Amino acid sequence: MARSKYDQTDIDLLFALNDFVNAARLYGQLAPAVDDPAGQRQVVLALAREARRTDRIVATSNSQAAASLVSRWDNIRHDVLRLMDSQNLTAADIEEK
């Protein structure tokens, strides 16, 4: 049985992508169910924070896997930015306080 070798950058990337996918799934469940504007903003904020964490890892990783994801990740990042814009969220809003 062949074993893949993962270095720390690959592991960080895989965990970040996994966490973002889980956040996106939860967003998909919560967004239609949250009626109040403050709640909608919080749902987008949580997704945007997870996207930002993932974006940092994709942008700084020297792994071959990250390089192959850059263009697809860029599309996702733009979708998240549109969601942020719909809630008047800025980059400063998503930074952990």
Instruction: State pLDDT tens for residues 5-40.
Output: 888 888 999 999 999 999 999 999 999 999 999 999
The predicted pLDDT at position 66 comes to: 85
Residue 47 within any structural domain of the chain: yes
Residue 18 within any structural domain of the chain: yes
Overall number of domains in the chain:
1
Residue 40 within any structural domain of the chain: yes
Residue 1 within any structural domain of the chain: no
- pTM of the predicted structure, to 2 decimals: 0.88
Kindly report, residue by residue over 29-84, the tens digit of the pLDDT: 999 999 999 999 999 999 999 999 999 999 988 888 888 888 899 999 999 999 99
The predicted pLDDT at position 61 comes to: 87
Comparing C-alpha atoms, which of 52, 55, 53, 64 is closest to residue 9? Answer: 64
Residue 89 within any structural domain of the chain: yes
Token output for 58: 């994709």
Residue 2 makes CB contacts below 8 A (sequence gap 6+) with none
Between the alpha carbon of residue 14 and those of residues 18, 21, 30, 86, 96, the distances in Å are 6, 11, 24, 29, 22
Enclosing domain of residue 68: 8-94
